[in-house]
Structure 1
């Protein structure tokens, strides 16, 4: 009953004061709620004749806001970022291992197959550009690329399912 009465008589003024101090409506609402809880805990202090209830409530609000500001200075800054957005550091070791696997696989292919993959995947050539650079027909480029990739998949069956080998 005390809290309801205090809120009915002083709630708007408390919220306005807390909003002025915090510059954040939702934070101000939390401050007012905490002030009302403290008023409920100290109901005996507010029942005296010489007590200015509104003055006491405003002092409590000011102290709560001050305590919150002090606590923020001690804690690290909070950032509202989804974990999906946070960039993860790439592990250099993974890229080194991937490079070693690719180099090993390419060295185990025939020269014709390796040359086609180097043209298409390492140099970024199209089928026509690779055919021109290697002096072979485009159909041969496609065929060699197909068989080269198939050979890599057979060499590294665990990687083929993970999208590591084209």
Structure 2
């Protein structure tokens, strides 16, 4: 909502109403747009059997598959620098020096990206409702 308000800030006219009313109108329009979008493309319920076949399982998901999907989604929400640092050091087990040479940045930068990437990953997982 705030992005839409920022982009259309030049349309605000204090003579026509208050800032609060203008922001409420933007919020209302977003809700209407979202509702209309959902009506045109309704969400289809997931067929559990089809999903299991796509996952290659025997009708059920194991914990490792669900964890992998969750971590993959959480990593997608991180910045590119943090994601690369975490994947290369934690998931692939490569040393910091090797990763820093490949990326062309100092070792301290890779360590910093890993540190802040882990903090961001914890925050993303918390937002996703994952209990650590």
TM-score after normalising by structure 2 = 0.49
TM-score after normalising by structure 1 = 0.39
Greater relative contact order, per chain length (Cα 8 Å cut-off, separation 6+): 2
